[in-house]
Amino acid sequence: MPVVRSSEAVTHEIHGARFISYAAPLTGSEELCAWRGEIPAGTRAPAHTVSREEIFHLLVGELLITLDGRTERVRAGDTVIVNAGSTLGVENPTEHTAISWVTTSVGLTAEMADGSLLTPPWAN
């Protein structure tokens, strides 16, 4: 039975945010990936188009989520369903770090506005 201890989670930092990967092929998951995201106060992640569906659940704080050009204020306890092919932007306009939990399928990629492709190591 694969159990990923918090001390074994892999941390990645990109675009001003921290991603702590728990479930991925590296830890024994065959189909799904899951990570905790820490989005510091004032962070604005660049918009990106995702190749796979993501379930984004906000655990702590408040964020502005822009999905396909529509912006919503998301608060702790809210869940955003990001369909494959959607363009997602995340901003933390508050003075406190927001914490999220994201689940997706293995193989997620993100196309950035400049056309470059990001293959997040926490999702593969």
* Residue 121 resides in a domain: no
Confidence of residue 106 (pLDDT cuts 50, 70, 90): very high
3 in a domain, yes or no? no
pLDDT tier, 12 (very low <50, low <70, confident <90, very high otherwise) = very high
Give residue 74's domain range: 16-113
What's residue 63's pLDDT?
Answer: 98
pLDDT digits (tens, 9 = 90+) for 16-54: 999 999 999 989 999 999 999 999 999 999 999 999 999
Q: What mean pLDDT is predicted for residues 101-123?
A: 92
Q: Is residue 59 part of a domain?
A: yes
Q: Is 0.95 surpassed by the pTM of this model?
A: no
Please indicate, yes or no, if residue 80 is contained in any of the structural domains.
Answer: yes
- Report the CATH number at residue 36: 2.60.120.10
In 1-124, the DSSP E strands lie at 10-14, 17-23, 32-39, 44-50, 54-60, 62-67, 70-75, 79-82, 87-91, 98-105, 110-112, 117-118
How many structural domains is the chain composed of?
1
pLDDT at 2: 81
